[in-house]
Amino acid sequence: MLGMMMRGPTMYTASPMALVDALFDDDFAFANAGERARAMRRLNENERSRTKEIGRPRIEETSRGFLITAHAPGVRAGDVKASVTTKRGHAKLRIDVEGSSSPLELGLPTKYIDITVAPKASCIDGVLRVAVLKRTAETLRVPISSTPDEGMETDDEGSTITLSVPGFGAADISVTLERPEDSLVVEGDSKNFGKFKKTFKNLPADIELSHISASVAHGLLKITMQDPHAIDPMDIAVSSLESDMTTSESAVTLVRRHVPGVSADNVSCRLTADRMLHVEVKTSNGRAALSTSVSRNVDHSTIRAACANGILSVVAEPTKTETETHVLQIDVSGDSPAALVEAAVEAALPSTEKPTEVEDFDGKIEDVAA
């Protein structure tokens, strides 16, 4: 009994394994707490970035251009960077908002917009607006002769429109090239034979007024269109040195063939006006020929050919417009809303006309006076 009373207070002693477990529990609790803190920071950052996201854009088209509007809550004009990039005949509008990882990108119709004029942009009260101007509409009149135009050569690809117009003379008919639609409008007005109107699109690319001629005779209206990309035929010298084929990284290979036993003297290359490359090879067994089309994106003046070590190669460089990239920075205003024209001017301008029926040219003779 006395022995039991003389003992000191009893202390709980944990096993070594329990102490180790407790140490790891404390470390994991600290790690979990840190992870929760980082998760909260990410959540707050995401919440802040979401407040600067651009909503789905709404695009309105008028006779003056395109107006792009999007909701951008919490975004100031200084937070927005806008630019237009043009390359290979394509244009793209890009809008970046500070704090947002999702830029807004929209393709622009290069045929209709005026790239030479910088678009206008604004971001006011959480509304982002971008105004892109269209090209100025033009109506170019094609002269009409009263005698058949026999001097203009045509090709087999449907470059001539023939309309049957009995009773209509040169003074009764007008032919106009409409821009930027690149459509051809043919109208006739006669006191005795009435009126007609035909509209054609899908004209040769990059066609100008100088490429079009028209004549009316014996009740037939003929409209001839030359190929704007036609070139002068040229013979291409074939080198026997492989070193002459050193090209840039952007070079385009037009022809590459294995021709064992053939020297450069036995190869001829010619580029015709329709951009067709004709290659003829003389061998001990006879002749072999091949033809390939040269794209408009290729600078035909840089075409080179060589036949060395049994390999025939024809290469060329792309046009400058094919490789060049232009970036136009857009100023974003925080004071004046972006608009295609001033409000007072907009009210004074006529409304857009109702579109007329447009027909594709199929190359057939059509009787429009029947």
Span of 88-92, 261-265, 320-324 with lowest mean pLDDT: 320-324
Return d(Cα 224, Cα 216) in angstroms, integer: 12
pLDDT band at 151 (very low <50, low <70, confident <90, very high): very low
The predicted model gives 336-351 an average pLDDT of 64
316, β-bridge pairs: 252
pLDDT band at 358 (very low <50, low <70, confident <90, very high): very low
pLDDT band at 1 (very low <50, low <70, confident <90, very high): very low
The average confidence (pLDDT) of the chain is 79
Burial of 337 from C-beta contacts in 10 A (0-12 / 13-18 / 19+): middle
Is the predicted pLDDT of residue 369 greater than 70, yes or no?
A: no
Is the predicted pLDDT of residue 154 greater than 90, yes or no?
A: no
> Given CA atoms 248, 254, 258, 262 in this order, what sign does their dihedral have?
negative
CA distances from 11 to 4, 8, 16, 21, 110 (A): 15, 9, 15, 20, 87
User: Which numeric CATH code is attached to 58-136+331-348?
Assistant: 2.60.40.790
Q: What is the pLDDT of residues 41-62, one digit of tens each?
A: 554 555 444 456 788 899 998 8
Strand order from edge to edge, sheet including 267-271: 234-236, 267-271, 276-283, 286-293
What is the third-level CATH fold of 138-229? Answer: Immunoglobulin-like (2.60.40)
Query: How far is residue 9 CA from its own chain's centroid?
Result: 89
Q: What is the pLDDT of residues 188-200, one digit of tens each?
A: 999 999 999 999 9
Q: 58-136+331-348 and 138-229 share one CATH topology?
A: yes
Name the pTM for this structure: 0.57
Domain ranges in the chain?
Answer: 58-136+331-348, 138-229, 234-320
pLDDT of residue 37: 55
Residue with the larger pLDDT of the pair 183 and 29: 183
CA distances from 216 to 139, 174, 178, 369 (A): 21, 11, 21, 14
Q: What is the pLDDT of residues 306-337, one digit of tens each?
A: 999 999 999 999 887 656 778 889 999 999 99
Q: Give me the percent of the chain exceeding a pLDDT of 70.
A: 74
β-bridge pairing 298-308 and 311-318? antiparallel
Is the predicted pLDDT of residue 268 greater than 90, yes or no?
A: yes
Architecture of domain 234-320: Sandwich (2.60)
Residue with the larger pLDDT of the pair 34 and 187: 187
Is the predicted pLDDT of residue 12 greater than 50, yes or no?
A: no
Q: Is the distance from CB of 93 to CB of 131 less than 8 angstroms?
A: no
Return d(Cα 285, Cα 283) in angstroms, integer: 5
